[in-house]
Amino acid sequence: MRVEILTIGAELLLGYTIDTNAAFMARALSEIGVAVVRHDTVGDEPELIARAIRDGLERTGAVITSGGLGPTADDRTRDGLAAAFGRELLTDPEALAQVERRFRLFGRTMPKINVVQALVPRGARVLENRFGSAPALWMEDERGRWVITLPGVPSEMRGLLTETVIPILRERESAAPTVVASKTIRTTGIGESALAELLGEDGGDAVAGLPLAYLPGWEGVDLRITAAEMPAADAERALGEAARRLRERAGAYVYGEGSANLAGVVLDLCRERSLTIATAESCTGGLIGARLTDVPGSSDVYVGGVVAYSNRIKESMLGVPEELINRGGAVSEDVAKAMAAGARERLGADVGIAVTGIAGPGGGSAEKPVGTVWVAVQIGEDMRTFGRVYLGDRGEVRSRASQTALDTVRGMLTQPR
Amino acid sequence: MRVEILTIGAELLLGYTIDTNAAFMARALSEIGVAVVRHDTVGDEPELIARAIRDGLERTGAVITSGGLGPTADDRTRDGLAAAFGRELLTDPEALAQVERRFRLFGRTMPKINVVQALVPRGARVLENRFGSAPALWMEDERGRWVITLPGVPSEMRGLLTETVIPILRERESAAPTVVASKTIRTTGIGESALAELLGEDGGDAVAGLPLAYLPGWEGVDLRITAAEMPAADAERALGEAARRLRERAGAYVYGEGSANLAGVVLDLCRERSLTIATAESCTGGLIGARLTDVPGSSDVYVGGVVAYSNRIKESMLGVPEELINRGGAVSEDVAKAMAAGARERLGADVGIAVTGIAGPGGGSAEKPVGTVWVAVQIGEDMRTFGRVYLGDRGEVRSRASQTALDTVRGMLTQPR
């Protein structure tokens, strides 16, 4: 099944809102084998919305929209949908009851303004939204081409997509003779060209003819293989075999598949071994803690950390000797080691993770340019360090440093010396 | 001036990469008064790229693309651009020299694979990329319609857009009789409907007829006013006056304009008063530290913090009395206060910021449901607390809690009791 995504809202075109909805939708759809072949964003004008919907139906026959279902004057997706199908908008009693119920749930009376959320193009099916007030809509024409409109509030969109839309599409999909499916293998700690040298640019016999794409980002390089126009069972088998061979060849650089994230992998590895983690962060300023605690259930492994942004805190809270900082500077292998040891000891954890570096744009020198980072991880008697100069801006240096730190833990647990 | 953005890459359609490039481009362009009227994303096929470019030229006459300029087989923007204009691809000596220079800079010989990066449609202008190996291209037809292709690597795209593209567009724009310009006022601590009640849904006489949009997100509600089809000087004046009146009416909820971020605002307020900050984070797990240290130059204000994810760390590193936790639970006003006081004292800072809460999805109870958060901030003798239940998923609860914590500091400094 092939679909297009249409996100709606002037705020997206002004760049004040990063379109995370489109990515979430694309990922969730890809994971069930639905191919997102295009993504468009338009503003809040009904004519533009209608035209974009019609173009998408013409091209692909299936469009999922997000945004523009709110109660205010700039929420015009209902109008756009009605115009695209040449239908009139009517107040739907079921939709109205839903909106009213939603307000009652929070002990409030529905404001008059919200009545518009119950406007529905004639013939559309109302999908209940138990995450917010905007009902979602499903509209299909006589040729079987369809549009689903979802709200733009991320938690509402996610809830509806996962609970309502995906099951509907799965059912349709299972009736289809062939699918487009893909699998992603996530690597880190190796660059795109080195990985391509290792695997061959097209993946060689590992992928047995399936197209292979290299997707580099700050987390590492993802390998994506795609199986197109095959029966679902064949696609699954072909992808499974290719993934197994790629994992074999990429070896220790692989940390997971699909939506795996390195923080989650590290937490799982530690959990299996009953190890706890403490962090000591300088240039990453709490980012590693934030990434670990972003994973639900992290509290049984991660006990906490010290953000030692100033040298004084490195000394007072982590016990880094002042002379160590004076001798080699705060950004040095020795200080990173002392921070990791200090985190373990002071916070009473098995694994100590430390990062110190120069994220920029200021603070660099000829000897230690912007991007210089030292990572140290101590697990029991085993202490490993990693020093390098990252390219990129402040955000990239910090993100990459956090990834290296987590990957060092993974390496120590999966490849003991 | 009106432009469309076209981002290119299968990884975007799979959702593994969030399209931050589109948002960055949109924001940078909006800020100089260039209206982004549409954003499309297509995969790596030359025909789809060509069609999307042609459609954009037809609709708007100006397209800026990002992605697909790399050296590998799935980088097809050059081919798409050539096809859209019906031109052939030639190896451009200037472009080739640029690519070679880039590799020499890092002491490397250009790999053969990179020769394709010097392929340029006949008639295109090569824009030097000093941030990476892919030269950007500028292509214009006889009717003055144009396309600029930028690389997809964020740091390269940003560098080229800011240093090269924006100056070119500014020059063109200054020759134009009218502009579309907008201004954004950022508020936090008040919901969309309450703000609309305060200002009137259309902004009333404050905006003097300029369209007003309410843009809610986890950071708060942004107010955007737009001045369309006016001479640049008139637009600037009208926006300036409307912004001044809106700020007056929205009062203390306003923390900045345009791309202001609350962490930066708080750092500036503290810097002016020579105050230092320390954090004590439980459910936010380092997020507040990460947000503060994401701002360049934060080290003169932010000394560091403790991520006190476990209760033991709250006691040992922040001096929270055990009986306080036993009595009211770790998520309570008293524990938040003790954490804020502990952060100030143990880390030796003027401002102590503390957050404790239940981010979910687990850990909630009838008495303390998921989303329950307590914030405490202490500045000198002044201690303020804030407790509430946030809706949304784990990420939203954490983000909103971090925003409330920072906004509490702002409130205490700008509205002393």
Query: Are residues B15 and A38, on separate chains, in Cβ contact within 8 Å?
Result: no
For residue B305, list its beta bridge partners. A307, B279
Structure confidence by residue, pLDDT tens digits, B361-417: 999 999 999 999 999 999 999 999 999 999 888 999 999 999 999 999 999 999 877
Distance in angstroms between the alpha carbons of the first and the last residue of chain A: 47
* CA pseudo-torsion sign A202, A206, A207, A212: negative
Is residue B195 within 8 Å of residue B186, measured between CB atoms? no
Query: Are residues A303 and B310, on separate chains, in Cβ contact within 8 Å?
Result: yes
Name the strand (E) or helix (H) holding B236.
Answer: helix B232-250
Question: What is the residue-averaged pLDDT of chain B?
Answer: 92
One-character DSSP codes across A6-24: EEE-HHHHTTSS--HHHHH
Residues from chain A that touch B74, judged by Cβ atoms under 8 A, are: 213-214
Which site among A110, A307, A373 would you substitute to test the B interface, given the most B Cβ atoms closer than 10 Å to its Cβ? Answer: A307
Position B394 scores a pLDDT of: 93
Name the strand (E) or helix (H) holding B203.
Answer: none
Residues from chain B that touch A196, judged by Cβ atoms under 8 A, are: 72
CATH number of B2-174: 3.40.980.10
Query: Are residues A217 and B288, on separate chains, in Cβ contact within 8 Å?
Result: no
Position B73 scores a pLDDT of: 83
- What pTM did the predictor assign? 0.81
How many beta carbons lie within 10 A of that of residue A325, not counting itself?
20
Q: Within chain B, what is the greatest distance between any pair of CA atoms?
A: 78
Position B104 scores a pLDDT of: 86
Domain boundaries, chain B: 2-174, 179-257, 265-414
User: Closest approach of chain B CAs to the CA of A417, in angstroms?
Assistant: 31
Instruction: Give the residue carrying structure tokens 């500091």.
Output: B409
User: Closest approach of chain A CAs to the CA of B67, in angstroms?
Assistant: 12
How many beta carbons lie within 10 A of that of residue A147, not counting itself?
28
Half-sphere exposure of A308 (CA within 13 A, CB side): 33
CA A265 to chain centre: 15
Nearest CA to A54 among A84, A86, A81, A9?
A: A84
Query: Are residues A310 and B287, on separate chains, in Cβ contact within 8 Å?
Result: no
Query: Are residues B290 and A294, on separate chains, in Cβ contact within 8 Å?
Result: no
User: Closest approach of chain A CAs to the CA of B175, in angstroms?
Assistant: 23
Structure confidence by residue, pLDDT tens digits, B95-117: 999 889 888 887 788 888 889 99
Q: Within chain A, what is the greatest distance between any pair of CA atoms?
A: 78
Nearest CA to B252 among B200, B193, B187?
A: B187
Average pLDDT per consecutive 10 residues, chain A (417 residues; last block may be shorter): 94 85 91 88 96 95 96 91 95 91 83 90 92 90 94 92 92 73 92 88 89 86 87 90 96 93 98 98 98 96 97 97 96 98 98 97 92 96 94 91 98 89
Position A33 scores a pLDDT of: 78
Nearest CA to B351 among B308, B301, B316, B289?
A: B301
A263-414 carries CATH number 3.40.50.1370: no
Position A281 scores a pLDDT of: 98
**Cα three-residue angle B193-B194-B197, rounded to 5 degrees:** 85
Residues from chain A that touch B395, judged by Cβ atoms under 8 A, are: 294
Q: Which two tokens stand for residue B166?
A: 């924006």
User: In whole angstroms, what is the distance from residue A384 CA to residue B101 CA?
Assistant: 36
A179-257 carries CATH number 3.30.70.2860: yes
User: In whole angstroms, what is the distance from residue B260 CA to residue A212 CA?
Assistant: 41
Structure confidence by residue, pLDDT tens digits, B33-82: 788 999 999 999 999 999 999 999 999 999 999 999 988 888 999 999 99
* CA pseudo-torsion sign A319, A321, A322, A328: negative
Query: Are residues A16 and B305, on separate chains, in Cβ contact within 8 Å?
Result: no
User: In whole angstroms, what is the distance from residue A340 CA to residue A395 CA?
Assistant: 23
Query: Are residues B286 and A289, on separate chains, in Cβ contact within 8 Å?
Result: yes
Q: Chain B: residue nearest A158 by CA?
A: B393
Query: Are residues A39 and B41, on separate chains, in Cβ contact within 8 Å?
Result: yes
User: Closest approach of chain B CAs to the CA of A122, in angstroms?
Assistant: 28
How many beta carbons lie within 10 A of that of residue A37, not counting itself?
21
Which site among B11, B42, B284 would you substitute to test the A interface, given the most A Cβ atoms closer than 10 Å to its Cβ? Answer: B11
B265-414 carries CATH number 2.40.50.140: no
User: Closest approach of chain A CAs to the CA of B42, in angstroms?
Assistant: 5
Residue among B38, B286, B303 whose CB faces A313 most closely: B303
Position A227 scores a pLDDT of: 87
Nearest CA to A260 among A223, A235, A230, A232?
A: A223
Position A199 scores a pLDDT of: 93
Position B152 scores a pLDDT of: 93
Residue B84: CB partners within 8 Å, gap ≥ 6? Answer: B49, B50, B51, B53, B54, B57, B147
How many beta carbons lie within 10 A of that of residue A218, not counting itself?
17
CA B9 to chain centre: 21
Tally the residues of chain B.
Answer: 417
> How much of chain B, in percent, has pLDDT values that exceed 70?
99
Nearest CA to B289 among A339, A290, A361?
A: A290
Is residue B102 within 8 Å of residue B68, measured between CB atoms? no
How many beta carbons lie within 10 A of that of residue B162, not counting itself?
12
Residues from chain A that touch B319, judged by Cβ atoms under 8 A, are: none
Residue among A11, A348, A393 whose CB faces B155 most closely: A393
β B179-187/B146-150 pair status: unpaired
Query: Are residues B11 and A297, on separate chains, in Cβ contact within 8 Å?
Result: no
Residues from chain B that touch A28, judged by Cβ atoms under 8 A, are: 15
Distance in angstroms between the alpha carbons of the first and the last residue of chain B: 48
Is residue B1 within 8 Å of residue B172, measured between CB atoms? yes
Determine phi and psi for B133, rounding to 5 degrees: -90, -20
Which site among A109, A310, A320 would you substitute to test the B interface, given the most B Cβ atoms closer than 10 Å to its Cβ? Answer: A310
Q: Chain B: residue nearest A308 by CA?
A: B304
Position A134 scores a pLDDT of: 86
Query: Are residues B41 and A40, on separate chains, in Cβ contact within 8 Å?
Result: yes
How many beta carbons lie within 10 A of that of residue A88, not counting itself?
10
Residues from chain B that touch A13, judged by Cβ atoms under 8 A, are: 26, 35-39
User: In whole angstroms, what is the distance from residue B183 CA to residue B382 CA?
Assistant: 35
Query: What is the signed CA dihedral for A156, A158, A164, A165, rounded to 10 degrees?
Result: 120
Q: How far is CA B191 from CA A19, A129, B184, B216, B245, in A?
A: 21, 21, 17, 8, 19
Query: Are residues B23 and A10, on separate chains, in Cβ contact within 8 Å?
Result: no
Residue among A24, A302, A309 whose CB faces B303 most closely: A309
Name the strand (E) or helix (H) holding B143.
Answer: none
Residues from chain A that touch B305, judged by Cβ atoms under 8 A, are: 286, 306-307, 309
Q: Which two tokens stand for residue B221?
A: 């509600």
Residues from chain B that touch A187, judged by Cβ atoms under 8 A, are: none
pLDDT band at B118 (very low <50, low <70, confident <90, very high): very high
Q: Which two tokens stand for residue A186?
A: 């996530």
